[in-house]
């Protein structure tokens, strides 16, 4: 049961999976996973495993991550297991290099937000006048991504005018990092007990199995 807010893309992926794995039962659910949602009636009463492996959990604020895990507990029900991938707290130099990659992929990803605002919300951002800026905030255990205005400028979005001072930034994304201990404590506060942890040798990334307490 793949869950995604992007319904067209989800249907396309589900169709591909069905044709690649003929015996697999694929029941896509187009939903916003930040809130509670229902599962298809076909699986009522079956034991369930939630699978959220790609570290998207780190893009939530800790309170939102807790709410997400609480909703998951309600949706999956008694006896559920949840498998979650979490990017670990590590040398800030490694994180810095990843979020400021030499090919500029992350910078393009970040600036793409302005392109989409221009296209979808009638914005007037000049992408050349904003700079990608990412750094590790070790007090909050998170990478912060910003777009910094290279100059004083005015931009219109949806008929509103926004003024930027030179160096003023738009905070576009956070990516929280967790130790196994800090993630276990977050999970516990949402009703889940850590039952297993797998990690790579360099301890850069972990996958945790959680059980409902």
Ligand X SMILES: C[S@@+](CC[C@H](N)C(=O)[O-])C[C@H]1O[C@@H](n2cnc3c(N)ncnc32)[C@H](O)[C@@H]1O
# binding residues, ligand X (CB under 6 A)? 11
Query: Does 64 interact with ligand X (rule: CB under 6 A)?
Result: no
C-alpha to C-alpha distance for 167 and 170, rounded to whole angstroms: 10
Query: Does 52 interact with ligand X (rule: CB under 6 A)?
Result: yes
When binding is defined by CB under 6 A, the residue of 36, 47, 53, 79 that contacts ligand X is 53
Name 135's bridge partners: 144
Query: What's the angle, vertex CA 206, arms to CA 200 and CA 210, rounded to 5?
Result: 135
Beta-carbon contacts of 4 under 8 Å, excluding residues fewer than 6 positions away, are 10, 13, 28, 30, 33
Pairing of strands 192-199, 205-212: antiparallel
Query: Does 121 interact with ligand X (rule: CB under 6 A)?
Result: no
- Residue 25 CB, nearest approach to ligand X (Å): 20
Dihedral (C-alpha) 17, 20, 22, 23: value to the nearest 10 degrees? -70
Which range of residues in 4-12, 42-50, 166-174, 205-213 is near ligand X by CB under 6 A?
4-12
When binding is defined by CB under 6 A, the residue of 19, 34, 74, 156 that contacts ligand X is 34
- Residue 34 CB, nearest approach to ligand X (Å): 5
When CB distances to ligand X are compared, the closest residue is 54
Query: Does 183 interact with ligand X (rule: CB under 6 A)?
Result: no
Nearer to ligand X, 71 or 188 (CB): 71
Query: Does 32 interact with ligand X (rule: CB under 6 A)?
Result: yes
Query: What's the angle, vertex CA 95, arms to CA 84 and CA 98, rounded to 5?
Result: 95
Query: Does 4 interact with ligand X (rule: CB under 6 A)?
Result: yes
Helix axes 180-188, 62-76, angle to 10 degrees: 60
- Residue 13 CB, nearest approach to ligand X (Å): 9
Please give the residue ranges that form the binding site for ligand X (CB under 6 A). Answer: 4-6, 32-34, 52-56
């Amino acid at each position: 049961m793949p869950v995604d807010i992007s319904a067209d893309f989800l249907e396309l992926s589900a169709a591909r999976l069905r044709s690649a794995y003929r015996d697999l039962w694929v029941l896509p659910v187009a939903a916003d996973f930040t809130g509670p949602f229902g599962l298809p009636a076909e699986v009522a009463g079956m034991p369930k495993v939630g699978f959220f492996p790609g570290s998207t959990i780190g893009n939530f604020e800790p309170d939102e991550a807790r709410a997400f895990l609480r909703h998951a507990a309600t949706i999956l029900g008694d006896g559920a297991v949840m498998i979650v991938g979490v990017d670990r707290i590590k040398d800030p130099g490694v994180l810095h290099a990843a979020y400021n990659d030499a090919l500029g992929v992350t910078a393009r990803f970040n600036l793409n937000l302005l392109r989409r605002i221009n296209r979808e919300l009638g914005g007037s951002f000049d992408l050349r006048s904003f700079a990608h800026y990412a750094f590790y905030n070790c007090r909050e255990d998170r990478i912060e991504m910003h777009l910094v205005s290279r100059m004083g400028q005015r931009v219109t979005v949806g008929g509103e005018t926004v003024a930027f001072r030179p160096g003023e930034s738009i905070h576009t994304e956070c990516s929280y990092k967790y130790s196994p201990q800090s993630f276990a404590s977050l999970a516990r506060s949402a009703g889940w007990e850590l039952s297993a942890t797998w990690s790579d040798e360099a301890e850069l990334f972990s996958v945790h199995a959680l059980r409902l307490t």
